Chains A and B, each alone.
Chain A
């Protein structure tokens, strides 16, 4: 098929505005799925996606479409809306000429609407505005169209008003995709160049690369080279997603599909790399992507030290299917051997945790998530640390830097005051205020990542009664007046409980933490002193009192079985904790240091 008859587009939107549902309707209208195979959000085929009702991974599908009597090939890429998976959107956009910006007619423009629209504009992607869910009683398509025009510059009378649920307007939208979105550039006579925009690993077939061919073509049996890593392979199968993988002989310029080439591990391919012909290579690789940035880090230790190898195997397996998750061995004087893991955000962390638990039977102790920091040492070297315990003695540290982000919050005007106060408490600097409409405003802040990555979103939702949304993007590491808080349990410094905070509220934070720890650590057979130290100086202490009475009064014949069970349960409870010195610390104690509630 000539490029004239191909259209490549992504569907982008804020979370839950209906991207995947719109994809369902398009699959039906183009005849790819019939009544029988129908299920909601068909492209969300991972178990976790279906359970959570969200898209985690982008997926592609090729649809045939007839417009004005001519055959077209439409390649759709559905993307996730959650901020943690932002990078999936930018990858998808790089593979497309156009995008549908979907906006919920009752919610209006939200933070990820803006962020994703900006991404599309940066990559010169042609945008079609789509106002979805017009079937809802609370739909306000006219108001939403105004917001879109005002904030994103898409003309309000050019927005499509549809219902992905009922299908209203979707056929017109398909026509518009052909009529208004540009076809791919025709580079069919040039050396092959295909962008790997995603990949996944199949137990039997190895790595499956999702590609967009920008020049030349790819064929079965062709010898190919991955330009970035400079490795050669031979294509054993290629094809299209319809939506299941359907083999074809070749993928021509402008087309989207998959390539299998006996690549064993996900680690062997870099997303954003270019596939070219081994014998007639392209002169330059295509413009790739920056690897996604890990925003939070957390240590995982086996509850039982002998489970360390089991934990490594489990992480290996998880990393095999998620190249944005990373883990490196880490050892802690207090907790023994474990792994430092990096995540795109808290949702990503939760998903990995859940898989770890679901697919393995290992008791794990996880430390509170932290952001990474940059230090400049006395000798002028800059180093990244992603755990407070890695912070060297401050005498050797010239400068301590923390990550800052551009934070965008969109909210109704009623909650502006409360949100500004929250942002202020969290060291955020207001850069810009922009009214989307008389009732809704967009606030732009410069914010320390550490202040907004954990519980900020929940608080924001709380004070805005669910209306505010936020998005953030890393900008730079900058010098901050930070200090490390150390926690001593029974006189032993527990490095895994250390944290880095701003000096101004360090003491107050320290005092709150120690009280929460006192509540989170169960009483023992002896008294346990807890101490908080800042820069080696103890600033607060608390004591966990020993329990004084714990004994079954009566144990005679008939009770033996039942009483043994009670004792075993008591023992099991101890096992689920990490022993540090002679103190058993439960999982919740590690997490309690992040809890900001009073």
Chain B
């Protein structure tokens, strides 16, 4: 797709800001982050703000400060960044900041709320101390509880908890306890991720050395199904493979990705899909700062999907949502009728009852969710 004919709906635009700092590395984590003590975080925030200036005319509807750990920034730096964003883009409807339990003081939380942040995403991961330790998390179960209740008291009305299941050593019972503990905190949104052995992580190394073993596939599946069942019994709706929310509390920001709408990512290693181009910024804090300071381009990778590639991407991303591919919306966005473009694949999976079509939408069935990749890969190329 060429830049000229790419029509994006700027009303749907999302702004992501990547804070590439953590206090220490969790064993499973493949995000780009470095120890904060090694870096000048003030310079980074300045660079982020400067990179953002390039998009001063954009009309962002959502903002998301993620990482890394935004919560490990000094509060004045975090606030400086938030205020800049809300000042620049006053129409932001959903503004999320990621926080690790115990990392933000009540004061900072108040200031964030006042500055326009209206959603918190808290990296709880587990309510089991042994699992937290295994994962290399530096917080306690108490810290999760405390952070959530403080945030609620202060007035945050939209809180997400991230949870990880299928941790080696865990079982259905411990997972059920974590789920119920999260539900009991009265949050509006829960993301439940199966533990992945990502390349380049300590966890993957341990796997290769034979020091850890993944849980059996069948148990992983049962845990996933337990999450779906438990959460739905408690008023949560699954709206994406790993995401559940109370009604009206879907994460608008993340929905932008699965709609395959444009978004801008700011900061080291951040990805953007803007003007028909998929780009990724350099994953090097110092080089990133230097590039921004001398008005250079922080992008290291650019790809320009052609029409068919864009159509395939859109199908794959849409199908991750429980609402699936909205055929009208899809045709408007990509120019293709999905029933024609993927005729054989759709036909095959309808017969296998792994896809269903209802009220103009093509979506995965419940049986398909745990094995979604094996189906989505058939939509990844024509």
Residues of A within 8 A of B (CB): 525-526, 547-561, 564, 567-568, 570-571, 574, 582
Contacts and interface: CB of A to CB of B under 8 A. Distances in A.
A559 B320 CA distance: 14
B246 to A, nearest CB: 21
Contact of B374 (A550, A557, A560, A564): A550
Contacts of B254: 556
Interface string B182-224: 0000000000011110000000000000000000011011001
Interface string B1-35: 00000000000001010000000000000000000
Nearest to A552: B373
Contacts, number: 106
B381 A571 contact: yes
Given A564-B316, A567-B380, 15 more contacts: A525-B352, A547-B374, A548-B218, A548-B370, A549-B194, A549-B217, A549-B224, A551-B241, A552-B373, A554-B193, A558-B270, A561-B280, A564-B380, A567-B377, A568-B380
A547 B371 contact: yes
13 contacts: A525-B374, A526-B352, A548-B220, A548-B221, A549-B194, A549-B217, A552-B241, A554-B193, A554-B196, A557-B256, A558-B269, A567-B377, A570-B380
Nearest to A575: B381
B263 interface: yes
Contacts of B352: 525-526, 582
Given A525-B374, A549-B370, A567 B196 contact: no
B220 A560 contact: no
Contacts of A557: 14, 16, 256-257, 263, 265, 271-273
A550 B372 contact: yes
Nearest to B240: A555
B362 interface: no
Given A557-B257, A568-B381, A547 B273 contact: no
A576 to B, nearest CB: 13
A208 to B, nearest CB: 46
A214 to B, nearest CB: 63
B46 interface: no
Given A558-B271, A568-B381, A570-B377, A551 B369 contact: yes
Contacts of A568: 377, 380-381
Interface residues on B, range: 35 or more
A578 B57 CA distance: 53
A564 B313 contact: yes
A547 B320 CA distance: 19
A489 to B, nearest CB: 17
Contact of B370 (A526, A550, A554): A550
B348 A556 contact: no
B56 to A, nearest CB: 20
A555 B220 contact: no
B354 interface: yes
B88 interface: no
Residue among B270, B312, B370, B373 having the largest count of chain A Cβ atoms under 10 Å: B373
A558 B258 CA distance: 12
B378 A551 contact: no
A573 to B, nearest CB: 9
A337 B372 CA distance: 33
A567 to B, nearest CB: 4
Given A525-B352, A560-B313, A567-B380, A548 B371 contact: yes
